[in-house]
Structure formats: C-alpha cells, structure tokens
Structure 1
C-alpha cells in the first residue's frame, strides 16, 4: 500500500511537509507558547513550551492536567492548507511522550472544503490507533483519503484527564498508493458494497461511477482482508455525501455484533 515511483513519492511528500505546516517542532515561541498553534487553556490544565523535554530540536509542547475525570479536553490546533488535486492518501504524524496519565491522549484532524464545511474527521480512537500512555517518545499517525473537495486540515492533539503529555515534530505527508493487486477477498467485499449502493441509493444517478471505479482501484491496492477495505468503503460513503446523501452510514462489525444484528453490510439510507 506504499509503493509507486520514487520520483512521485518524493515530490508529493515534499509539497506537504515543507510548505504547509508551520512550526511543526514547536521551536518558535511567543509568551512561552509555540507560535502558529491556536490554543485556549482551560481549567484545570496548563499548557506551555517546554525547553527541557523534546524529541528533537530545542523543545516541545507540554500539556499538564491537574485533575482526573474531567469533562473538558485541553486541545491545540493549526489550520493547514492542502495543496494539489485528485485522490490522495495523506498521513498526519507526531511524536508523543507522556507520564502519570489518568485519562486519554489523542491526535485529531478535521478535513474542510473550500466552502468551510467539514467533510471528514478522525482521531486516534476512531482510527483505532490508540496512543500508549506513560511511555517515552513514539511516533503516532492518522491517515486520510482526500479528494478534490479537500481544501484544508485543522489538526492537533488533546489531553483529557491528569498527568503530563508532550507533543513534538508534527508532519503532514502524502503516502503513495500501493501498486500491488488487491486480494480476491478484498475486491469482492468492495464490489458487493458498491453494488448495494448502486442498486439502492436514490442518489445513484448523481454519481460518476467510472470515476469512482478508478478511485477504488487506486485505494484497494495491497488490500488483503475485509478489514483492510475500510478506506475504500468510507470513500464510497464520501461520494454519496457529495451527491447529496446525508443519511447513509456504515455500522462497523463490532458495533453490529454487540447489537446482535450483524449482517455482512449494514448500509442504511
């Protein structure tokens, strides 16, 4: 899922990494807080630039939670313009360290279009990339499939609870699609779902099925299991959203099984 020509990979990666994200290592500060990052410090939290603890460079961003079981999230964020057009796979990464945590830590990101409408969202929990607490520096990532709608990210991290967490070295990088063929199992699963939508959706005549098929071919590269197909299934749902469908969704397997109503697909309109 990570191979195309090296030339394209280097070009795409450099576009995202060098030009868009400002102060990714929290090196520039103003009033003891990293510049270019939005923040509003909430009680019972403290948030500051830490010049002693860092993954690289001179410092990092530290959040200190003084109370367990709080409802508020202490968050920080930055708006990042997304360059280019077409279907792209983009990774948002950051190095994280924490100590004495009682609560939750997460990376998060929103995808917004040119009309300032949020078209996608993900965090460490929704993408099943949970951050291990009370460990030394480790890189964590989120992954998004972007299309022509995507205009900018709002991205950052948060702490909910007590303890200390440090963030450093954020990155936004385009990842090439795999040139490996998908397995028959994965392709069958994707096509079954696509055909259910094609047969049942009242918005089917507004969808460019040829373009969708081309995108699914790119997305499915290297997929082996049914679980691997989640990005392709979610892309179909995004296409439905763009066509005007604001009601369809997909129940994940775990949720459906817990409700004891599991079917291979829970596509609803």
Structure 2
C-alpha cells in the first residue's frame, strides 16, 4: 500500500496544508536497525523496533512492547521546526494499532518558543484514551499556535503492558473559516472567557484585547460547544504563557468520573522497616466522591493503627514521592494521626489568606469534606516523622507536604517537588465539562508562602542500588 499523501484542498471551508514535514513519518528509513530521524528513549522492561509484518502502509511500522513493567512508560520523539504567520491551528496525526494495552498508548506533542515549552497535549488530554486491543485507526492532537511558536517536539508512547504500533505521522496546518461562530458555540465561548477572566490567578497578566481578537479568528465557523474545544485549549495556553502551569480543562467524561465512586484507585500501603520504623506510602487520589474519600482516608488510618498497635514504633516515614495530586483532603484526613489539629496551611490570593485544616470530635476526624469515621491517635505523639518527597510529588501532593511544614519533630527528605503549588478550583461548564483553574497559591501554617518547588529540609543524593531517601530518614529517626 502506498504511503498516504496529504493534498491541499482549495475552496473548502478550512484550508489544510502540510507546512512542516515529519521526517521519516512512516518509519521506512533505517539507521542501525532503528528508524532514522527519531529519538528513542530507552526504558527498562520495554522493547521497541521497526515491524515489517504489522504495518498500516508502506513496508514498516514502529512498535513498542512491554510484558512486565506496569509503572513506567517508553516514548520516542523528533523535533519539527515551525514558521508561523498569524494564528493557525496545527494538527499532529498518526495511525495506531494496539494489542492488550493495559494503561494507555498515545501520540503526544510539546510546543516550544525560542527558550521554553509553551504548550503540551496528548490523546488523553484531548478526550481520547487508547487502551485494550484496537485495529489501525488515525488519531490526532491539535494546537492553536502563533508566531512565537518555533518548534514542535512530537512522538508516541506506551504506558504499562501491551503492544502498540505507530505509522504515518504527519503535521498539517488548518486555516480558520471567516464566518463568525454560531450559537451555542458563541455563547459557550463567552461563558468560558468570563470564568477565566473572573477567577484565574493569572487573569490580570493576560492581554485580553489581543485574546478577544485571536478568539474571533480561531472560533470562525464553530457551531457547537464541542467545536469550541480549541478555544479552551488556546485560553489555557495563554495562562501557561503567563506562568500558570496548573490550570486545565477536564472533559465531560472525566468530569463525570471524578464525582463518581472510584472504580479502581491506587491504595495507600504500609510496612514495618528495620528499627521498628512505621512506613506509610500515600499515592495521589483523583475523586471528589464522598464515599470514595472516606474509604481512602480510613484505609490510611487503618494502616497506621495496624502498625502502631502491634509494634513499639520508634518513628514514622510518610512517603509522598509518588503522590501526583488530585484531591488533597482525603490524603490529609488519612494522615491525621501525624498532624496537630487546627490550621495546617493557607490558600493565598493577594492579601487574602483562607486556611485549610484538620479537625476531630469523638472518634471522627475530617479535613475539608473528607471524613474518617474511626480516627486513630498514635500511642507516641512526640515521635519523629520523616516525609519523603520528590519530583513526582505534585499539586495536592505538595499541599499535603505543606501540611507537615511547621509540625514538631517533622522533616522533609528527598528531592525538590514538581512545583505545582497553586490550588485549582473547579468550575463546572454548561456542556458538562469542567475548568480547573489555579486560583490561589499556598502558604504553610506559619504563613510562609510556597511558590514553585518545595525544597526538602534534607536534600538526598539519589542512588541506583538503594533507596537513599529511606536510608537518610531512617538514620535521622534512629539518631540519639
């Protein structure tokens, strides 16, 4: 089968043209048995190769397989230069086939100016989750770009077990129709603009006159709320350029799932370490459902109770290194045995400081709307607590970390956190989707502001052959 040729169609509603070529987009050219022009990031447990037996077109495709590794991902990429005049929509396309993909397969793309990344997306972020077994199908991600966009870094990935095949990568440019947006798209766009302008932490940093002019161009021909997704992506991109790396748009499906009882979320885990040190690992938690919050928070306290009631604990390690965020309140409620009741930190905007806290009465404890019906109190409340953090500690994981700052006999160990120390507020939209906007930044209980990564008290050099964070925390706990 011949490789697909993208043809410029003149006189259609939207003009589409190839404007920056993806080199070796069909993986036909090889160099040392690997596809030329592509950078392949090795990952333990994954194998990648060109495949002449399974392909969509031409003689080859590119495949990634993984039979064992469940947590990491394998990616590949190349850089494509841009030369943009005016405001354009660019679309990155590829044809994918999957077999037994447990987590997800995706194409992805970063947009860069001269010095930094200014936009990013993948299939999941644009409402397309690809897993399981699927025959060849074209998938795409799109961006609104302006002349400051100088290059794309694009590619594909496999996360978790399974196999994915990639073929026929391309980049196209779409010119916008000159006809104005119709209802209900026009009204939905105004709704989104008003929410962002009124509530976003970085709203005052935006050039709203220029934004309105750009939206007038990119919304041309839009008719439905679904058509208006590129406008939302553009507005979130403008917040990114202003310094907001946290706000995002949640799809209708994701918004529904976020408020439903969780089908399967990662649980907290525990163990007894040498020296009678209690170890609790708390992952991220992505739900606002009341029953799910209670189950998650109570599970953490039950793990603490199990260790503390059966052992003479010399100190505690709370591991937040894999806590990528979500909803902070069940995390904090679950970790209540290690925290003094009262204010733990503040949401800050301008001169206004709004506290978050943990409270309790009788057997019950709560933080925000997360409730622990059978709360536990440590037998030794004066022992040491080491909190482990790192670059994957993000968003609500960082707010949970901040809740420990200023707590007596507590230190942070590890590496700097991800730096998403703004609080996102949820704003439901009329189409059923949700805007999550950074509306405040964080301060600890002593009202010290935290903007950007949290630097641990003890920076620990990372080692390949052992967990240096746990070792450093253990030494501190056991020292006399």
Same fold (TM over 0.5): yes
Conserved in 2, the CA contact under 8 Å of 1:62 and 1:165?
yes
Q: CA shift at 1:227, angstroms?
A: 4.0
Q: CA shift at 1:129, angstroms?
A: 1.9
Aligned to 2:244: 246
Q: Does 2:106 match 1:100? A: no
Query: CA 1:36/1:151 → structure 2, altered by over 3 Å: closer, same or farther?
Result: same
Conserved in 2, the CA contact under 8 Å of 1:131 and 1:140?
no
Query: CA 1:250/1:94 → structure 2, altered by over 3 Å: closer, same or farther?
Result: closer
Report the secondary structure of 1:145's partner residue: strand
Q: CA shift at 1:85, angstroms?
A: 2.4
Among 13, 19, 31, which residue is 1:15 paired with? 19
Normalized against structure 2, the TM-score is what? 0.48
Aligned to 1:79: 79
Aligned to 2:416: none
Aligned to 2:138: 139
CA distance in 2, matches of 1:88, 1:245: 22
Q: Higher relative contact order at CA 8 Å, sep ≥6: structure 1 or structure 2?
A: 1
Q: CA shift at 1:6, angstroms?
A: 5.1
Matches within 5 A, 1:16-165: 16=20, 20-67=21-68, 70-115=70-115, 117-131=116-130, 133-165=132-164
**Deviation digits for residues 187-238 of structure 1, max 9, x if unmatched?**
22322433455566775476150x3222111222233333432321332233
**Deviation digits for residues 12-56 of structure 1, max 9, x if unmatched?**
x1323xxx3111111111121101100132221111111222211
Q: CA shift at 1:66, angstroms?
A: 1.9
Normalized against structure 1, the TM-score is what? 0.82
Which ranges of 4 or more aligned residues in structure 1 deviate by more than 6 Å? none
Q: CA RMSD for the aligned pairs? A: 3.0
Q: CA shift at 1:100, angstroms?
A: 3.4
Aligned to 1:214: 213
Conserved in 2, the CA contact under 8 Å of 1:88 and 1:174?
yes
Q: Does 2:167 match 1:168? A: yes
**Deviation digits for residues 151-178 of structure 1, max 9, x if unmatched?**
1111111112233221111010112323
Query: CA 1:99/1:233 → structure 2, altered by over 3 Å: closer, same or farther?
Result: closer
Report the secondary structure of 2:228's partner residue: helix
Query: CA 1:75/1:196 → structure 2, altered by over 3 Å: closer, same or farther?
Result: closer
Query: CA 1:188/1:25 → structure 2, altered by over 3 Å: closer, same or farther?
Result: same
CA distance in 2, matches of 1:63, 1:198: 43
Query: CA 1:7/1:187 → structure 2, altered by over 3 Å: closer, same or farther?
Result: closer
CA distance in 2, matches of 1:189, 1:154: 31
Residue-pair matches, total: 258
Which 5+ residue runs of structure 1 have no aligned equivalent?
none
Query: CA 1:14/1:237 → structure 2, altered by over 3 Å: closer, same or farther?
Result: closer
Conserved in 2, the CA contact under 8 Å of 1:237 and 1:248?
no
Q: CA shift at 1:145, angstroms?
A: 1.1
Aligned to 2:399: none
Which 5+ residue runs of structure 2 have no aligned equivalent?
1-8, 260-287, 290-425, 430-434, 440-480
Q: CA shift at 1:57, angstroms?
A: 1.4
CA distance in 1, matches of 2:19, 2:149: 15
CA distance in 2, matches of 1:63, 1:247: 30
Task: Name whichever of 48-57 and 224-233 sits farther off.
Answer: 224-233
Q: CA shift at 1:7, angstroms?
A: 11
Q: Does 2:188 match 1:184? A: no
